[in-house]
């Protein structure tokens, strides 16, 4: 019996060591991104949490706030093959997915060959995604949800891992196609990118206008990242955290108990609960903890819920906002 007890202890030690190594890689990646992206600690944290949780993120902010640079930097730091698509109204699904071309061999035999599009990367930046037509957006939707694409009836699997970080400009609405709720729901988080504070902008001025500019250095490989994603799914979640997730998500739906239920037109589906369950584990790992807390749920509630709910016309007329409602729901749990 002693030998089986010892082997169990050895196995536990191995698991703990693997977890410590993975957590170290993740924190090194966060620090490496921070050497290039200044004053956006919350944005960087949410973006890394999204990828650790195996999801996609929507970055919303005005031009010039380093959204493109963030995605490019994360590709380098996480050791991923990063691709970028600039979305425009005339972009076709084949411009993203790829297309089949007819080729003739030296012997005169003709055959079709598939040429992969930019979606066949590990980290895809979808720049100004709301400029693309619904037809093109739906092509990306299949890739995001199913992890494969279908061209001319043939299935083509995407590389692993596969993550989409899309950007959206909240200022310009002319010539854009707002993302449908079904596609918004596929994004694990909506991350608001705000203006940097004074000290961060001072650092940006000196770092980006001098002779030498800070360059990102790799901190992880794609295999390290996938190991971290597997570990995230194995982290234990306490009953109090599960209860907090369920209470928060269920209270954000129309008809829920309390005054807020009357203000909500439509609310988050169980996919929001799944997103919170994964994201709180990822945030715990990023901070060197091996179990999430209720504080993680409260910290991630807004970016996970706000694009999955809408207020009634009467509530908007009274000056209510989605972040304000989420804040009130959080206060009941916290």
Residues with Cβ within 8 Å of 282's Cβ and at least 6 positions away in sequence, in order, are: 48, 49, 50, 52, 53, 232
Which helix (H) or strand (E) segment holds residue 102: the answer is strand 98-104
> Does residue 184 belong to any structural domain of this protein?
yes
Residue 235 and residue 49 in contact, taking contact as beta carbons nearer than 8 Å: no
Q: How many separate domains does the chain show?
A: 2
What pLDDT is stored for residue 138 in this prediction? 81
Q: What is the pLDDT of residue 1?
A: 46
Residue 318, in any domain of the structure: yes
Residue 206 lies in a domain: yes
* DSSP string of 222-261, one letter each residue: HHHHHHHHHHHHHS---HHHHHHHHHHHHHTSTT-SSGGG
Query: Within this chain, do residues 143 and 260 fall inside the same structural domain, yes or no?
Result: no
Q: Tell me which residue has tokens 């694409």.
A: 149
Q: Flag whether 3 is in a domain.
A: no
Domain boundary among 234, 252, 270: 234
Asked if residue 196 and residue 173 are part of one domain, the reply reads: yes
- Regarding whether 230 and 240 lie in a shared domain, the answer is no
pLDDT on residue 124: 87
Residue 279, pLDDT score: 92
Same domain, 56 and 131: yes
50 and 75 fall within a common domain: yes
Residues of the chain with pLDDT under 50: 1-2
| Most distant CA atoms of the chain, gap in Å | 75
Q: Among 182, 211, 234, which residue terminates a domain? A: 234
**Same domain, yes or no, for 218 and 311?**
no
DSSP-derived secondary structure letter, 192: E
Task: Pick the last residue of a domain from 192, 216, 234.
Answer: 234
CATH code assigned at 80: 3.40.50.300
Same domain, 196 and 257: no
CATH number at residue 241: 1.10.8.80
pLDDT tens track for 65-117: 777 888 888 888 888 888 888 888 888 888 888 777 777 777 777 777 777 87
Quick: pLDDT tens for 42-72.
888 898 899 988 889 998 887 777 778 888 8
69 and 214 fall within a common domain: yes
Which token pair is 124? 């895809």
Check whether residue 208 and residue 245 sit in a common domain.
Answer: no
The boundaries of the domain holding residue 277 are: 235-333
Q: How far apart are CA 247 and CA 240, in angstroms?
A: 10
């Amino acid at each position: 019996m002693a030998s089986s007890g010892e082997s169990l202890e050895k196995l536990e030690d191995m698991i703990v060591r693997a977890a410590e190594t993975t957590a170290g890689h993740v924190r090194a990646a966060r620090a490496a991104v921070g050497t290039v992206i200044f004053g956006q600690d919350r944005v960087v944290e949410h973006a890394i949490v999204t990828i650790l949780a195996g999801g996609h993120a929507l970055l919303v902010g005005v031009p010039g706030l380093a959204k493109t640079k963030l995605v490019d930097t994360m590709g380098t730091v996480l050791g991923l093959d990063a691709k970028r698509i600039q979305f425009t109204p005339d972009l076709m699904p084949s411009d993203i997915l790829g297309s089949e071309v007819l080729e003739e061999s030296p012997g005169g035999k003709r055959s079709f060959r598939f040429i992969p599009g930019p979606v066949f990367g590990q980290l895809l930046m979808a720049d100004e995604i709301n400029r693309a037509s619904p037809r093109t957006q739906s092509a990306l939707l299949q890739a995001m949800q199913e992890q494969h694409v279908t061209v001319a009836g043939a299935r083509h699997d995407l590389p692993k891992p596969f993550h989409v970080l899309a950007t959206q400009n909240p200022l310009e609405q002319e010539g854009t196609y707002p993302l449908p709720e079904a596609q918004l729901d596929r994004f694990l988080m909506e991350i608001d990118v705000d203006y940097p504070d004074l000290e961060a902008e001072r650092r940006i001025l000196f770092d980006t206008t001098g002779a030498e500019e800070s360059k990102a250095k790799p901190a992880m490989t794609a295999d390290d990242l996938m190991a971290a994603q597997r570990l995230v799914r194995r982290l234990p979640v306490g009953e109090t955290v599960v209860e907090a997730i369920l209470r928060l998500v269920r209270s954000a739906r129309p008809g829920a108990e309390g005054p807020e239920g009357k203000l909500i037109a439509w609310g988050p589906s169980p996919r929001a609960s799944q997103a919170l369950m994964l994201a709180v584990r990822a945030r715990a790992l990023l901070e060197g903890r091996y179990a999430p807390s209720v504080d993680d749920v409260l910290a991630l509630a807004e970016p996970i819920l706000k694009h999955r709910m809408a207020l009634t016309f009467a509530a908007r007329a009274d000056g209510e906002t989605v972040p304000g409602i989420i804040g009130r729901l959080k206060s009941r749990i916290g």
